[in-house]
Amino acid sequence: MEWETVIGLEIHTQLATVSKIFSGSPTAYGAEPNTQADLVDLGYPGVLPVLNEAAVRMAVQFGLAIGAAITRRSVFARKNYFYPDLPKGYQISQYELPIVGKGHLDVMQEDGTVRRVGITRAHLEEDAGKSQHEGHTGVSAIDLNRAGTPLIEIVSEPDMRSAKEAVAYMKKVHTLVRYLGICDGNMQEGSFRCDANVSIRRKGAEKFGTRAELKNLNSFRFVEKAINHEVQRQIDILESGGQVVQETRLYDADKDETRSMRSKEEANDYRYFPDPDLLPVVLDESFIEAQRAALPELPDQKAERFQQQYGLPAYDAQLLTASREMASFYEEVARAVPAEPKLAANWVMGDFSAALNKEGLDVGASRLSAAQLGGLLRRIVDNTLSGKLAKEVFEVMWADGSDADAVIEARGLKQITDEGAIGKVLDEIIAANPKQLADYRSGKDKLFGFFVGQAMKATGGKANPALLNQLLKQKLAP
Amino acid sequence: MDVTLAGLAAGLKARRFSSVELTREALARAEASQGALNTLISITAESALAAAAVADQRLARGEGGPLTGVPMIHKDIFCTAGVLTTCASRMLSNFVAPYDATVVAKLRAAGMVMVGKANMDEFAMGSSNETSYYGPVMNPWDLARVPGGSSGGSAAAVAARLAPLATATDTGGSIRQPAALCGVTGIKPTYGRVSRYGMIAFASSLDQAGVITITAEDAALALTAMAGFDPKDSTSVDAPVPDYAATLAAPLAGLKVGIVKEFFGEGLASEVEGPVREVLAVLTKLGAQVREVSLPSLPLSVPTYYVVAPAECSSNLARFDGVRYGYRCKDPKDLIDLYKRSRAEGFGAEVKRRIMTGTYVLSAGYYDAYYLKAQKVRALITADFRRAFGEVDLLLGPTSPTVAFGIGDKTSDPITMYLNDIYTIGANLAGLPALSMPCGFAGGLPVGVQLIGPHFGEARLLNAAHRYQQETDWHLKAPAGFKAGFAP
């Protein structure tokens, strides 16, 4: 039996506002528990919410970036349920009239094809606080610092057909919100997390299968693992004649399994209704146009420009534009070697990214500046360094933060480009290896490499390879 | 002379008495009346005397306005920093507010001296003040009768001359109905005219703060100080506040007064109808033109209200969960037990009834049939009023179908109790300003007349009420056994 997976994501994106969505408390992460919650966040009797305009601006910018219709009159609604980290007994969200309507994102897959993912809606809402059940005996602790932090919940259409596609889409959204500067994208701190609706159906079937909602997936790796696990679980059920039940399931990263949280029957009736404490959010044309004007160059636009301006393949352009920081780092490196944009791309995506990844650093925390890397590449372009030597120099630069020229000077790594000097070395080697010379001349072409190796050994690898090859050919010629 | 704010201000200015003396008098009356009337949940003697001393210093420097140094009472629904704020509920029986409501801050800034916090129906849910956790309030005109509600303590306290001014709130008639039943003047302003910040919410789209006083002139002075846009309340309206006292004396010549046909039908006691109709003669004498108008959707206002208000209440009162403040049950077994028992023990029967009703009407499958339909009817009622105000300047009718009823008479049947608000609810559903003032007596008990104005028509309402009060003295009558004025 062939099964098709159907996935839709709900991505919760914390907006990078200074203060909360309905109060003046700061949103900074990591403060002592309950020090960033004022009376509004604590749901005190008599207090009222006041909407933070910055959150509205950010939501509109997101909507414009996905080509969505911006709702001119959106309405906040109360989602009612009891939980200790939800101080008011309801979450202020948007229900029937979300601020961002239908939009889409084009997502490049691993094989280079592009799949369009529909975005149903994105709505503004407040985050809840956090309950802590571990580390306390007999009680649970509640930290309301996060309560009232602005979120947009980005709801996709069920347009994804594999865990990998879902991750690619999620990464694309992640890239986009960081480009827009509306979210710090920090998944460890919960700034960017998602729920996944997963179902399977027979290949070719039109009707969707019964879905399970996987809650609170806070890393790309977990999204992929949780979906794959859930798909297998559903296949096992259906193939053994069972039925998938609609339910909410929690992914346990430690055990790599999902387990049921609550079934459809146990689901809350949230009793949504318009929040009478807040007026509808009415946006006029000039507000929306001002947000459009404030949009930065978006990832797709930048990738397109990189292909045009630098002649890069689509794959490179995609990779280099994965974050604004990476893109501008690349552009600065490329400026140092204007004739060799592909060389710059190879280095940024290759050795440089590898070095970052090895230490788990972001571009912003790089040990080397773009100017330093550009300085190194300049010495490749002007033949001071061979590619091999350049890698060695890079390692030293990465280790101690020095400039390429200083490393070259200090270690005497400068490439030998003097014809006379290389010629002299070659003459000595040829003289010392008459048998190999004779064999080469009688047709054993492979021995060319032997002479190159000997020459490199003698020069400590510093001989300019192109020049060496050229001179050696001349000298070996009968 | 000492029965109005103007008279008290003159007395303070002429140093016939100081604010401290006036405050001591108010505190003494409050203490002495508690046993018989139970109008107050807290008496704040210490802070009152300190505030009075400060007011005296201001007055001595020639500073302050017409409210400076005058004792007053806040309904216990307003948060008052450092003072118990209970909403007359066991749920908040231990709640000391950490901040001042905007109304409280504004009247404090105007120099008023809070002497106590008024009893009320629990969370403002009731029409008789019998749902209070702190016990019923007695009507000073007849101690066996209710003062009305929910602002029963505020109305009874002003009627008994404990203070010339008490704040109140009105969600479905909670200022006007007790004002009528206690023979005092009460105004519910336009929705959004006065900030709701710090006023514990019952039904957010209907709640509005106002004031209960002896005269319309006093209400005008108080409202001028209380009203205005508040950045902390998104539903408060950013429009300039007129000096309501400045237009009180304007002539009524040409004023078009509409008699609301639907207010004079079945259910209205004839002993109430008589005095209300006599108001028309006075207004006509003052130059007003009277005509009948019809608000055909108005009879639907009670069922509409009893869907919308409980729906909002069920959500607004969810925060009282025993987790962060307020009442918490003893030894909760687990979270569900904590929720269930804290709320079951912390709320009274009427509050629970409304939370249940509200939860029901918002539930999946019922929302459209109840809540959504109620909102549509609300729009119809609002449209009726809009049409009427195309023809007339003010609407007139009774405030309450009957005079004050006996304590315990209606507690067994909530529907009968709800019908008390039949004439007042329309103004809340449409967000209109409305006022009740004394217009006579029936069997020794006060009768109130209600005036309803168009949005932001407070000045005209107060003007008409003031001119009426210049012609009559119903509002100056004090119940037997209570002084007529406030001076020591």
Q: pLDDT tens for residues B134-158? A: 999 999 999 999 999 999 999 999 9
Check pLDDT > 80 for residue B404: yes
Say yes or no: A349 and A459 in one domain. Answer: no
CA distances from B328 to A167, A399, B99, B310 (A): 45, 60, 22, 23
3-state secondary structure of B424: coil
Categorize the per-residue pLDDT at A135 as very low, low, confident or very high, splitting at 50, 70 and 90. Answer: confident
Judging contacts by C-beta atoms under 8 Å, the chain B residues touching residue A22 are: none
**Closest chain A residue by Cα to residue B206:** A276
Q: Please choose, from the candidates A382, A379, B84, A302, the residue with its C-alpha nearest in 3D space to the C-alpha of residue A391.
A: A379
Domain boundary pick from A356, A389, A411: A411
Domain boundary pick from A358, A377, A411: A411
pTM of the model: 0.91
B238 and chain A: CB distance < 8 Å anywhere? no
Phi, psi of B313 (to 5 degrees): -65, -40
Strands across the sheet containing A114-126? A103-108, A114-126, A150-156, A3-14, A192-202, A212-217, A247-252, A257-263
Interface A-B, measured as beta-carbon pairs within 8 A, has a size of 96
Q: Is residue A385 part of a domain?
A: yes
B319 and chain A: CB distance < 8 Å anywhere? yes
B318 and chain A: CB distance < 8 Å anywhere? yes
B315 and chain A: CB distance < 8 Å anywhere? yes
Say yes or no: A302 and A285 in one domain. Answer: no
**Closest chain A residue by Cα to residue B338:** A84
Q: Is residue B53 part of a domain?
A: yes
Q: Is residue A229 part of a domain?
A: no
Judging contacts by C-beta atoms under 8 Å, the chain B residues touching residue A46 are: 78-79, 97, 101, 197-201
Say yes or no: A109 and A42 in one domain. Answer: yes
Q: Is residue B22 part of a domain?
A: yes
Check pLDDT > 90 for residue A154: yes
Catalytic residue among B128, B174, B301, B314: B174
Cis peptide before B205 (omega within 30 of 0): no
Which one of B232, B315, B324 has the shortest CB-CB distance to A90?
Answer: B315
**CA triplet B369, B374, B379: central angle to 5 degrees?**
135
Alpha-carbon torsion angle B135, B137, B143, B147, nearest 10: -140
Q: Which of B324, B328, B340, B347 to mutate to test the interface with A (most CBs of A within 10 A)?
A: B324
Say yes or no: A41 and A158 in one domain. Answer: yes
B362·A48 Cβ contact <8 A: no
pLDDT digits (tens, 9 = 90+) for B368-389: 999 999 999 999 999 999 999 9
Say yes or no: A325 and A278 in one domain. Answer: no
A282 and chain B: CB distance < 8 Å anywhere? no
Check pLDDT > 90 for residue A147: yes
Say yes or no: A136 and A273 in one domain. Answer: yes
A269·B363 Cβ contact <8 A: yes
Say yes or no: A402 and A425 in one domain. Answer: no
Q: What is the average pLDDT across A253-276?
A: 86
Cα–Cα distance, A223 to A217 (Å, whole number): 6
- Return the number of other C-beta atoms located less than 10 Å from residue A203's C-beta: 9
Say yes or no: A45 and A131 in one domain. Answer: yes
* pLDDT value, residue B486: 95
> How close is the nearest chain B Cα to the Cα of A115, in Å?
36
Say yes or no: A125 and A47 in one domain. Answer: yes
Check pLDDT > 90 for residue B411: no
Least confident range from A51-60, A342-351, A402-411, B298-307: namely: A402-411
A53 and chain B: CB distance < 8 Å anywhere? no
Instruction: Report the CATH number at residue B190.
Output: 3.90.1300.10
Task: For chain A, positions 245-274, list CB contacts with chain B under 8 A.
Answer: 269, 271-273
**Which residues are within 8 A (CB) of A121 and not within 5 positions of it... i.e. 6 or more apart?**
A98, A100, A101, A102, A155
Categorize the per-residue pLDDT at B291 as very low, low, confident or very high, splitting at 50, 70 and 90. Answer: very high
Check pLDDT > 90 for residue B276: yes
Q: Is residue A24 part of a domain?
A: yes
Cα–Cα distance, A93 to A80 (Å, whole number): 10
**What is the per-residue DSSP string for B451-463?**
EE-STT-HHHHHH
* pLDDT value, residue A409: 83
Q: Which of A271, A275, A278, A279 to mutate to test the interface with B (most CBs of B within 10 A)?
A: A271
Q: Is residue A234 part of a domain?
A: no
* pLDDT value, residue A208: 94
Average pLDDT, chain B: 97
Q: Which domain holds residue A441?
A: 419-476
Say yes or no: A462 and A392 in one domain. Answer: no
B85·A49 Cβ contact <8 A: no
Judging contacts by C-beta atoms under 8 Å, the chain A residues touching residue B323 are: 84, 87, 142
Instruction: Report the CATH number at residue A430.
Output: 1.10.10.410
Number of domains in chain B: 1
Say yes or no: A52 and A107 in one domain. Answer: yes
What separation, in Å, do the N-terminal and C-terminal C-alpha atoms of chain B show?
13
Q: Is residue B394 part of a domain?
A: no
Catalytic residue among B19, B33, B128, B150: B150
**Closest chain A residue by Cα to residue B339:** A82
Q: Which domain holds residue B21?
A: 5-248+461-476
Q: Which of A96, A275, A277 to mutate to test the interface with B (most CBs of B within 10 A)?
A: A277
Cα–Cα distance, B237 to B231 (Å, whole number): 10
A48 and chain B: CB distance < 8 Å anywhere? yes
**Closest chain A residue by Cα to residue B311:** A273
Number of domains in chain A: 3
Q: Are A45 and B91 in contact (CB under 8 A)?
A: no
**Which residues are within 8 A (CB) of A69 and not within 5 positions of it... i.e. 6 or more apart?**
A63, A100, A101, A102, A103
Q: Is residue A223 part of a domain?
A: no
Q: Is B75 known to be catalytic? A: yes
Average pLDDT, chain A: 93
| Residue B196: exposure state from Cβ atoms within 10 A (0-12, 13-18, ≥19) | buried
* pLDDT value, residue B316: 98
* pLDDT value, residue A175: 94
Categorize the per-residue pLDDT at A80 as very low, low, confident or very high, splitting at 50, 70 and 90. Answer: very high
A46·B199 Cβ contact <8 A: yes
Q: Is B150 known to be catalytic? A: yes
Check pLDDT > 80 for residue A413: no
Which ipTM score applies to this complex?
0.96
Which one of A88, A142, A279 has the shortest CB-CB distance to B235?
Answer: A279
Q: Which residue has the tokens 């990078």?
A: A16
CA distances from A82 to A22, A272, B315, B321, B333 (A): 20, 14, 10, 8, 17
B327 and chain A: CB distance < 8 Å anywhere? no
Say yes or no: A308 and A282 in one domain. Answer: no
pLDDT digits (tens, 9 = 90+) for A169-204: 999 999 999 999 999 999 999 999 999 999 999 999
* pLDDT value, residue A257: 82
